[in-house]
Structure formats: C-alpha cells, structure tokens
Structure 1
Amino acid sequence: MREKTGSFDLAQTLDCGQCFRWEKQEDGSYTGVASGRILNISEQNREQALDDPFWRNYFDLPLDYGKIRDDLSAGDAALAQAAKYAPGMRILNQEPWEALCSFIFSQNNNIPRIKGIVSRFCAGFGESIGEGYYAFPKAERVAGLCEEDLAGIRSGFRAKYILSAARKVAQGEIDLESLKTAPLAEARDRLMTIHGVGPKVADCTLLYGLHRLEAFPMDVWMKRAMRTLFPGREPESFGRYAGIAQQYIFHYSRNNPELFEAR
C-alpha cells in the first residue's frame, strides 16, 4: 500500500546530514540533483513530483516508515522520543558512488563545507545537465585524475582518498552493486580497503548509498547519544531497521545538545 506523502517531511529528510546536493530556496522549496536529474520540490508541488517513480523510490516512499517507527518505539521510551522529534524523516536511495565520495569528503568537516566541496567537484568533473547543474562525476573520470587536478575543489587531505576510491571502483576491485546483498560485515570490510575509509564512512556509504538499513554509522554524536540514552546497548539490538533508528537518534541528539549537559 502506498504510504501517504504527509508522513514524509522535506526538511527533516533533506537537512539531516545524509545528503549534500540539496539546497533550500528562498521560497522554501528544495532544489537538488540525483542520478543526473534535477528536481525542485516543495510542499505545494510534492504530490505531483512524487508521482514520478524515480523520485518515489529516491525518497523511499514505498517503505512503510509509520510501521517501522511504531515497531522501533514499542517499549523503548528513549527511541520513541527521538522518532517523535522527526517522524517525517526518510533514508534516501542515493547513488552508491556519490554517497561513498560524499562521506569521504565529510571527514572532519561540516555540512556547508561538504556541500561546497561536492558542488565544486561536480562542476569541475561532472557532465553538465543544464540550468547550471552537473551530474556527479563518474568513477572512471576521477580515476584518471591526480591530486593536483583536485586542488581546485579544496578538499585537502581527502583528495587522495577520493582517488583511491575511484580507482578501486573503476577497476572493478570494488563492485558497489554487489555490496547491496553481501553480508554486512563483509561489505564494510570491502569498503575499508579504500585508503582513508574507516568504519564510520563505510557504514554511511552502506546506509545512505547502498540502502543497507541495518547499518548503524557511529560518530562522536552517536557515541555520546548511545552512552547517554542507550547505555549498554549495541547497534544490532535495534534490528533490521537499525539505520533508521540511528537517523532518528542522530538528528534528535544533534538538535538537542542540552541532553548531554553536565553528564
């Protein structure tokens, strides 16, 4: 059954740190690029926009998040509170290669700077798709570059990591599509053969790029949240939708820092 789009919130989904190619416009709408397609979406036009099967899948509309929220929240007051804070959040179906690169760029970085790097990366090495927008650069194109070529995007130490990723993907050493069905630990280990990719970037790629909804990225905020709100619990305890639970917890914790004061 199609879930009503009323349970899908644009701001909660696009401003939660899982993607870096969407910008809020002055009129409150969002404009972004995915898989070489441009979309401007708002509360006013979203029903029409989401009639397109591509965008319905991208925003994960077929999955019943209402039931998942109820199941995750049952008997868990802390998680129920986190889920209640952003009930309209969804995990996007992003391109695996784009997600991998984006989260390599995210290392020791903040969202505005990540967006700037990604934007310059696309403008410099992606194909123009019109209206001043560019497709995400293909791994094969990036694999032929050197660190000096990437100097203009101002990604710093991350440039060499991007090149390592591009070469492994372009040469078939890492088959991103196969990681969608590989055992989670094996998929994580494969991603971590890329120079500069550790557990956090690997799990972000798994969750946000490969839609492995059981993946549970851990950063400073999440480690603090787990210690404070879920002491003694492991990510696996949240089950097959641990990644959705993680996103609720992360967003709630990041926007409520008072939870951790004097602790």
Structure 2
Amino acid sequence: MEKLSGYGYGLCGDCKAIADGDDAHLKEAYAYGSGVRILRQDLWEMIVTFMISQNNNIKRITNSVDLLCRRCGHKIDGSAEGEELYTFPKPLEVPEEVFDDRSMGFGYRAPYLKEIYEYGANNPDWLDNLRKMSYDEAMESLLTRKGIGKKVANCICLFGLHHVDAFPIDTHVKQLLDKYYSDGFDFERYKGVAGIIQQYLFYFEL
C-alpha cells in the first residue's frame, strides 16, 4: 500500500493482494480505477455529512450541507469571483433552531444531528480520542451515537479516520457483492486494504 502524506491513500501499482489473486473482476476494477485515492478529509465534516447522507440523494445532501455552511459557517476570504465559500460549522457554531428548520432538508435526521452537535460541544476531546483509537474501538464509540449505524460508522472510519480496513456496505456495494461475490467476499485476503478495494469495486460498478 502506498501512503501519500497529506493527500490520501492508494494501492501501489504492483499490489500483490490483487496481482497474485484469481479475482478477474477485481483486477479489471483495479485497472479501471488506477489512481483513485482516499483523501484526508476533516473528521467532524465526515461525521455530520455522512449522517446527512443516510437514505438521501446527492442533490438533497448537497443542498443541506450548502445551507448549513452558508447559515452557520464563516465566509472564506479570497473566494473566486462570483463564488462564495464557507467553512463547515463546528460544534457550538450551530444554533438549536437550525435543526428545527424544515427548509434545511434534514428530515428525520434533524434530532440526530442536533444530538451529535450537542455531544461534540460537551465532549471537546471526543474527536482527538477517536483519532487515537483502533478501527474496532472507533467503530464501537461511533455506534453509541444516535443516528450512526454500521454503514455510516464505517464511512467515517474510512474517510475521516483513515482506517483503510473499513468496508462500508451501502445499497450499491451490497448489490455488487451479491452480483460478483455470491459465495462471499474474501475479506481476510484483503485485510489491511479492504476499504481501498471497496473503492475500486464501487467506482468501477458506478
């Protein structure tokens, strides 16, 4: 595995786990998605946005996140002409009434988002503690929060905590696993890079 400091994670070009295997579909997906990287993204933003993403579509997710940033974030100086950019609001930066505003498009997720913002504000060390945890420990901690299920917790671990063994299974991934791996996916073979393997399979399928 290749680690690109400050940028993200990707598989080296001669990854033995793939090259030495007999999974023709995965080899094709890897060749097609060569260059895919898992970026180093802000942990708090990953927690909130993946909570918003549950049972949601891209347009509604984008709209909710944009409204949240414009309403509660800080305008970033130096934005391109005709474009306004805002920071992603941290705990203590979002008034309670925002979660009760239906125009935000949070839907049933609103009370969960309110709770996570309150928890983040009352537990300022939580994010740093998460960063120090193993994959299993982080999963256990995340799953104690309302509105975070196994799929979202795995997404947070993969994209926000860089646990590249996390393998989020959403509807699309479940369908491709059923389609190509009806006898079961060999998670043990790809232990340590399963999350990157998932990204190649996901990207290739969509």
Residue number among 149, 154, 159 corresponding to 1:203 in the alignment: 154
2:30 aligned with 1:79: no
Q: Deviations over 1:8-52 (max 9, x none)?
A: xxxxxxxxxxxxxxxxxxxxxxxxxxxxxxxxxxxxxxxxxxxxx
Q: 2:126 is aligned with what amino acid? A: D
Aligned-residue offset at 1:193 = 1.5
Question: How has the CA–CA distance of structure 1 residues 163 and 113 changed in structure 2, closer, same or farther, with 3 Å as cutoff?
Answer: same
Output the CA distance in 2 between the equivalents of 1:158 and 1:64.
32
Provide the C-alpha distance between the structure 2 equivalents of 1:72 and 1:112, rounded to a whole number of angstroms: 37
Q: For CA contacts below 8 A with separation 6 or more, give which structure has more relative contact order.
A: 2
Determine helix, strand or coil for the equivalent of 2:45. Answer: helix
How far apart, CA to CA, are the structure 1 residues paired with 2:194 and 2:65? 28
- Counting aligned pairs with the same residue, the percent is 35
Q: Spell out the pairing of 1:38-57 with structure 2 (5 A cutoff).
A: 57=6
Note if 1:70 corresponds to 2:15.
yes
1:184 aligns with 2:135: yes
From the superposition, tell whether residues 174 and 237 of structure 1 become closer, same or farther in structure 2 (CA, over 3 Å): farther
C-alpha root-mean-square deviation of aligned residues, in Å? 2.4
Q: What amino acid does structure 1 have at the position aligned with 2:15? A: D
Cα deviation for residue 234 of structure 1 reads 5.0
* TM-score, with structure 2 as normaliser: 0.85
Contact residue 72 and residue 80 of structure 1 kept, 8 A? no
Determine if contact 1:174/1:191 at 8 Å carries over to the other structure.
no
TM-score normalised according to structure 1 size: 0.68
Cα distance 1:182–1:223, how it changes in 2: closer, same or farther (>3 A)?
A: same
Contact 1:146 1:163 (8 Å CA) reproduced: no
- 2:48 is paired with a residue whose SS is helix
| Gap runs ≥5 in structure 2 | none
Read off the aligned partner of 2:151 and give its amino acid letter. K
1:226 aligns with 2:166: no
Distance 1:114 1:224 in 2: 22
Structure 1 position 134 matched with structure 2 position 79: no
1:188 Cα deviation (Å)? 0.9
Shift of 1:181: 3.3
